[in-house]
Structure 1
Amino acid sequence: MKFIQRYLPILDWGRTYDRATATGDLVAAVIVTIMLIPQSLAYALLAGLPAEVGLYASILPLVAYTLFGTSRALAVGPVAVVSLMTASAVGELAAQGTPEYLGAAIVLALLSGIILLVMGFLRLGFLANLLSHPVISGFITASGLLIATSQLKHILGIPASGHTLIEILQSILQHAHEINWLTFAIGAGATAFLFWARKGLKKRLLRLGSGVFLADILAKAGPVAAVAVTTLGAAFFGLADKGVRLVGDIPQGLPTPQLPGFDSKLWLALAGPALLISVIGFVESVSIAQTLAAKRRQRIDPDQELIGLGASNIASAVSGGYPVTGGFARSVVNFDAGAATPAAGAFTAVGIALAALFLTPLLSNLPQATLAATIIVAVLSLVDFAAIKRTFIYSKADFSAMAVTILVTLFVGVETGVVTGVALSLALHLYRSSRPHMAVVGVIPGTEHFRNVDRHKVVTGDSVLTLRVDESLFFANARFLEDRVYQLVAERPELKHIVLMCPAVNAIDASALESLEAINHRLSEAGVQFHLSEVKGPVMDRLKRSDFLQELSGQVFLSQYDALSTLDPLTSHIANGDGKKDPAKTPAWTGPVI
């Protein structure tokens, strides 16, 4: 039963599900449904797909996440960044508007789901930690700018194209003389209204005496109001005959569930983009889920989240949708509206299904400029210039990685930007790990504490040198440790002992072990004994499996103070010259492993 419950979290929270919880979930579902309908249509068009595909991707995936997801507030569905990545990936293989294009998008969802499931079953959720936040933030900021720029063609009513910022802007300038001013009026007006609704409508309603709950719902319903007004206006004034591009007929009803056919060449071509979409989608989702869960003192399981998102993407493919993931804005709305369990997503799916069954005939006169305005307002909230400034002030290395990711995404392409970001994250991690912080330390007078000689007033001796390493030792930094030790020994001809202080060393791999053996051998030849102190239990267990401890020229001490008292009693006494009891000379540690 525990095995099944682990992979079906609904069996856990479902046992305590009651009427009060259901009420909170239903209220949240109503608000999210109102928000999701126009977003689903808009993001489908952003992905280059028919509008109804966005609705299809917002039904079964939500039900699947309800069954397999662990976040109580994450709202799964189409999102802007994944929609852009879908358009970029599928656009290389087929022309927009063709059955082949839709089929490739469905296969992309299926492959993404399979990849996420495999990662989940292999418990690879920790991989999200390998992507630095500045790089992810930079990619999302660049994607937001790229998406907003790509939607200007719909606001202006011109046939622009392109995949990079320069291509899009050049295309817009080339077609600038073709601007449809009616379309521009609709798009600019809708954009201005949606910005106002997002920032100022709720405050205005509260000042007019409206209740908080009603004001919140009306503010969230801004996109629905824009859709309704512009659709009615387009139908009444016959704007289609005046060059305003409309969504057109949207098939009424629900899709017939089916799996896409297997085409080895197509699947192979989409495998790389599917992996990138999976990783970016998972990182975005798990970041949102963890943030919201922390506010309620809940927790999520990253490995199970992989399974939940994988099931959602497979469900999307089965229902004729495209890749989905957790959306930031919708999840926050879902959380604020009182969603208590993932069941809120299932209730939202029912609302979207009803919209697909009964509302789609009413949307044929919806101007594409309105959906473009919806996208622009949504994605610009992802653009975080303040984060760029903060990162620049705090860390020039992180800022460099962030800036490169932004520039590559904007001027080369989305997929290249993702790959560059991932590579920079790993390179930055390896660079920092390869140059760990190391400090020569001495004892603070009157205490048994050891601190950096460059930062504190400490006591040190001439015959004993203590080097503290603040990183686990592995292949990337093993040679750096060797060079540092040899440098320190060369600078101190009177040195008799060197102690490697290891309180921050959580692991020593085989390469680092060879480096320690080399250090021990070379120091012995130079007449210097090599010692260790404050070695953690698991690390000590691994060292005991080798011959290193038997060949060690020095000793292993329980604490650095024990090492100093044993190897240099005079310095130890001087350090305690404040009247504190002089420490007795202590032997090397032979007690239990800690």
Structure 2
Amino acid sequence: MSMLRRYLPILTWGAEYSGQTFINDMIVAVIVTIMLIPQSLAYALLAGLPAEIGLYASMAPLVLYAIFGTSRTLAVGPVAVASLMTAAAAGTIASQGTPEYLGAAVALALISGLLLLAMGLLRLGFLANFLSHPVISGFISASGVQIAASQLGPLLGIKADGHNLLDLVTSLWRNLGQTNLYTAAIGIASLAFLFWVRRSLQPLLRSLGVGKRIADILAKVGPAVAIAVATAVVWGFELPVRGVRIVGTIPQGLPQLSLPPLDLTLWTTILVPALLISVIGYVESISVALTLAAKRRQRIDPDQELIALGASNVGSAVSGGFPVTGGFARTVVNFEAGAETPAAGAFTAGGIALATLFLTPLLFFLPNATLAATIIVAVLSLVDLGALKRTYDYSVADFLAMAGTILATWVEGVEAGLLVGVGLSIFLHLYSTSRPHVAVVGQIAGTAHFRNVERHTVVTDPQVLSLRVDESLYFPNARFLEDRVNEAVAANPAIRHVILECPAVNAIDASALESLEAINHRLKDGGIMFHLSEVKGPVMDRLKRSHFLEELTGRIHLSQYDAVFSINPDLARRTLDAHPAAKKNRDAG
């Protein structure tokens, strides 16, 4: 039964479900449904798909996540970055508006879901750790800017093509003279209203005596108001005849369950984009889920989240949708509105289903410009280019990875940007660890502590070279350590002992072991003994399985002080007794 509860968390929270919890979840569902309808439509258009596909992707995934998910508040559905990546991947298969394009988008959801399910069953959630925070931050910021630029075309009523930021800007500039004034008026007014709602409505409502929770929720449903007003204006003034593009007919009814195209060539072509969408979606989801769960002291199972998101994407695919993941804005609304269980998401799916059955005729005159404004406001909140300076001030390597991700995304597209970011992160990590910090250390008078001779006033023995290596030893830095030891020994002919202090060495691979053996042999040939100190237990266990310890000319010491004491006990003791307080404590002991 415990295994069943692990894979079906609904059995845990469902057993405790009460009438009051039902009421709270239902209230939240109404709020999120109002917010999700315009977002679903907008993100479907961003993905290059018919508007109703966004509604289809907002039903089955929410129900499946309620069954398999471990977060009580995560709101699954279409999101901006996944929609952009879907458009980029499907655009390599066919042109927008064709059945092949739709088939590719649906296949992306299925492949993403299967990959996530496989990763979850194999407990491979740790693979997402290869995406560093600077890379993710840079990718999301770059994608946000690119998405916002792509929506300027619909906002102004002009054509804007391109798979990267440079192409989009060029296309916008070339077609700027064809701006439709009516469309631009609606789009800019919607944009201004939505920015005002986001920044000023909550403070205004608070000043009028509205509670913080209610005021924040009302501010989040601003897009629904903008859509209602814009739709009424377009219908009342018959603006479609003036060139204002509208959503048009949205089919009524629930989606038909079917399998996406089972074409091996298609699957092979979109496998890598599907993997990238899966990993990015998982990182985005797990980040917000863990953050909000911590506030309520709830537990999130990262591997089960892979299964839940995988099932959600499979559900989206068989119901005609495109890739989905946990949305930041919707999840925050879900949390702040008081969602107590994932059932709130299932109820939201019911609200979307009702809207698909009965409300779609009301959206016929919905202007694309207002949906574009909705997307722009949503994605710009994700952009944080100021992180470039903060990251540069802290770590140049992380800055390079972030900047490389942003530039590659803008110049080559989203997939290339992500791959460049991951590649740069791995390369810079390998480069950094290939040249670890190695310090010559000495004993601080009056203590048994050893510190860097360049940072502290210490006591040393000219016949003893104590080196502290601040990195695990593995193939990229093994030769560097050899060179560092050889250089230090060559510079001081008086050295008779070399002690390698290893408090930061968490692993020694086979290449590094060979280097340690080579160091030992060279020092032995020169009449110098080689010692190790502060070797961690797991590292020591592995060394015992080799011949290194048998051939070691020196010894393995528990601490650096023990190592120095075994070589020059008088100096070590005098140094320790140099401080009056230390001597007093030793005498008292």
Residues of 1 paired with 2:27 and 2:452: CA distance?
57
Q: Which residue of 1 aligns with 2:163?
A: 163
1:356-388 CA-to-partner distances (Å, cap 9, x unmatched) read 111111111100001000000000001102212
* One-letter amino acid of the structure 2 residue matched with residue 537 of structure 1: G
Q: Deviations over 1:139-192 (max 9, x none)?
A: 111101100000011011112211112211221222222111000000000000
Shift of 1:423: 0.8
Give the direction of change, closer, same or farther, for the CA distance of 1:21–1:494 in structure 2 (3 Å limit).
farther
Shift of 1:416: 0.9
Task: Give the alignment's TM-score, normalised by structure 2.
Answer: 0.96
| 1:177 maps to 2:177 | yes
| Structure 2: gaps spanning 5 or more residues | none
Pairing of 1:228-243 with structure 2 (within 5 A): 228-243=228-243
Greater mean alpha carbon deviation, residues 25-34 or residues 109-118: 25-34
SS in 1 for 2:160: coil
Q: Secondary structure at the match of 1:538?
A: helix
Report the Cα offset of residue 283 of structure 1.
1.6
Match of 2:508 in 1: 508
1:194 aligns with 194
Alignment partner of 1:24 is 2:14: no
Q: Quote how far apart the aligned CAs of 1:93 are.
A: 0.8
Q: Secondary structure at the match of 1:255?
A: coil
CA drift at 1:23: 3.6
1:559 aligns with 2:559: yes
The aligned residue for residue 216 of structure 2 is: 216
Amino acid at match of 1:258: S
2:133 aligned partner, one-letter code: H
User: What secondary structure sits across from 1:476 in the alignment?
Assistant: helix
Are positions 1:258 and 2:258 aligned together?
Answer: yes
For these two proteins, the number of residue pairs brought into alignment is: 584
Task: Give the stretch that moved more between structures: 567-576 or 227-236.
Answer: 567-576
Partner of 1:415: 415
| Partner AA of 1:578 in structure 2 | H
Checking the alignment, whether the CA contact within 8 Å between 2:158 and 2:176 is kept in structure 1 is: yes
Q: CA deviation at 1:552?
A: 1.1
Question: What are the equivalent positions in structure 2 for 1:71-86 lying under 5 Å apart?
Answer: 71-86=71-86
Partner of 1:466: 466
Judging changes above 3 Å, is the alpha-carbon distance between structure 1 residues 524 and 360 closer, same or farther for their aligned structure 2 residues?
Answer: same
Please give the residue correspondences for 1:27-66 in structure 2 after superposition, counting only pairs within 5 Å.
Answer: 27-66=27-66
Residue 430 (1) aligns with residue 430 (2): yes
Question: Residue 203 of structure 1: CA displacement?
Answer: 1.2
Amino acid aligned to 1:134: P
Choose 185-194 or 228-237, whichever is displaced more: 228-237
Residue 486 of structure 2 is matched in structure 1 by: 486
Which sits farther off after the overlay, 267-276 or 66-75? 66-75
CA contact (8 A) 1:134 1:402 kept: yes
Deviation of residue 193 (structure 1)? 0.2
Separation in 2, partners of 1:167, 1:131? 27
**In terms of mean alpha carbon deviation, does 497-506 or 13-22 score higher?**
13-22
2:135/2:418 contact within 8 Å kept: no
TM-superposed CA distance for 1:405, in Å, is 1.1
Tell me the CA shift for residue 39 of structure 1. 0.5
2:381 aligned with 1:369: no
Report the CA distance shift for 1:77/1:518 in structure 2 as closer, same or farther (over 3 A): same
- After TM superposition, which residue ranges in structure 1, 4 or more long, deviate above 6 angstroms? none
Correspondence 1:140 to 2:143: no
Residue by residue, what CA displacement relative to the aligned partner does 1:79-129 show, whole Å, maximum 9, x if unpaired?
101100100110111111111111110001101111111112222211222
C-alpha contact 2:217 2:337 (8 A) present in aligned 1: no
In structure 2, give the amino acid aligned to 1:562: D
Q: Distance in 1 between matches of 2:247 and 2:194?
A: 19
SS of 2:233 mapped into structure 1: helix
Give the Cα separation in 2 of the matches to 1:430 and 1:21.
Answer: 51
Measured at CA, do residues 534 and 320 of structure 1 come closer, stay the same or move farther in structure 2, by a change above 3 Å? same
Distance in 2 between residues matched to 1:473 and 1:529, nearest whole Å: 20
1:105 corresponds to which letter in structure 2? A
Residues in 2 aligned to 1:9 and 1:318: alpha-carbon distance in whole angstroms? 23
Residue pair 1:573, 1:582 contacting (<8 A) in 2 also: no
Letter in 1 for 2:385: F
* Residues 519 and 13 (structure 1), Cα distance of their counterparts in 2 relative to 1, 3 Å cut: farther
Residue 484 to residue 310, structure 1, CA distance change in 2 (3 Å): same
1:533 pairs with 2:518: no
Between stretches 85-94 and 511-520, larger displacement belongs to 511-520
2:217–2:333 CA contact under 8 A, matched in 1 = no
Q: Secondary structure of the equivalent of 1:465?
A: strand
> Which residue type is aligned with residue 125 of structure 1?
G
Q: Which residue of 1 aligns with 2:574?
A: 574
Q: Using the TM superposition, give the Cα deviation of residue 581 of structure 1 relative to its aligned residue in structure 2, in angstroms.
A: 4.8
Letter in 2 for 1:432: S
Rate the CA distance shift 1:299–1:511 in 2: closer, same or farther, 3 A: farther
CA RMSD of aligned residues (A): 1.7
Which stretch has the larger CA shift, 184-193 or 534-543?
A: 534-543
CA distance in 1, matches of 2:346, 2:507: 45
Measured after TM superposition, the shift of residue 566 of structure 1 is: 0.7
Which segment drifts farther, 141-150 or 509-518?
A: 509-518
Q: Distance in 1 between matches of 2:2 and 2:368?
A: 49
Whole-angstrom distance in 1 between the partners of 2:425 and 2:291: 21
Alpha-carbon distance, 1:582 to partner: 10
SS of alignment partner, residue 370 of structure 2: helix
Q: CA deviation at 1:20?
A: 3.9
Aligned to 2:270: 270
Q: Is the 8 A contact 1:149 1:168 kept in 2?
A: yes
Q: Which residue of 2 aligns with 1:206?
A: 206
C-alpha distance after superposition, 1:211-269 (max 9, x if no partner): 33432332122100011111111112111111100001001111111211311111111
Change (3 A) 1:433 1:16: farther
**Which amino acid in the other structure matches residue 203 of structure 2?**
K
Work out the CA distance in 2 between the residues paired with 1:531 and 1:492: 18
Three-state SS of the structure 2 residue aligned to 1:477 is helix
Shift of 1:493: 1.2
For 1:377 and 1:407, how far apart are their aligned partners in 2?
22
What is the deviation of 1:583? 12
The whole-number CA distance in structure 1 between the counterparts of 2:342 and 2:323 is 19
Rounded Cα–Cα distance in structure 2 between residues aligned with 1:378 and 1:429: 33
Counterpart residue number, 2:524: 524
Instruction: Determine if contact 1:257/1:319 at 8 Å carries over to the other structure.
Output: yes
Match of 1:93 in 2: 93
Residues 218 and 581 of structure 1, relative CA distance in 2, 3 Å threshold: closer
TM-score by length of 1: 0.95
CA distance in 1 between partners of 2:137 and 2:343 (Å): 30
Asked if 1 retains the 8 angstrom alpha-carbon contact of 2:116 and 2:306, the reply is yes
Tell me the distance in 1 between the aligned counterparts of 2:233 and 2:118: 49
> 1:463 touches 1:568 (CA, 8 Å); kept in 2?
no
Cα separation, 2, equivalents of 1:133 and 1:233: 44
Asked whether the 8 Å contact 1:34–1:220 carries over to 2, the reply is no
Whole-angstrom distance in 2 between the partners of 1:561 and 1:583: 17
Distance 1:518 1:160, change over 3 A: same
Q: 1:496 to 1:22 in 2, by over 3 A?
A: farther
Q: 1:377 to 1:514 in 2, by over 3 A?
A: same
Q: Name the residue aligned to 1:289.
A: 289
Listed one character per residue, the Cα deviations across residues 432-457 of structure 1 (whole Å, up to 9, x for unaligned) are: 22222222222211111122211122
Residue in 2 aligned with 1:548?
A: 548
Deviations 1:523-550 (A, max 9, x none): 1111111111111111111111111111
Identity %: 66
Indicate conservation of the 8 Å contact 1:565/1:583, yes or no: no
Higher mean C-alpha displacement, 202-211 vs 141-150: 202-211
Distance in 2 (CA, whole Å) between partners of 1:76 and 1:476 is: 42
Aligned-partner residue type, residue 406 of structure 1: I
From the superposition, tell whether residues 222 and 121 of structure 1 become closer, same or farther in structure 2 (CA, over 3 Å).
Answer: same
- Residues 12, 472 of structure 1: CA spacing in aligned structure 2 closer, same or farther, 3 A cutoff? farther
C-alpha spacing 1:217/1:287, structure 2 compared with 1 (3 Å): closer
| DSSP-derived class of the 2:493 partner | coil
- The question of whether the paired residues in 2 share the 8 Å contact of 1:131 and 1:426 is answered with no
- Which residue identity does 1:374 align to in structure 2? T
CA contact (8 A) 1:533 1:557 kept: yes
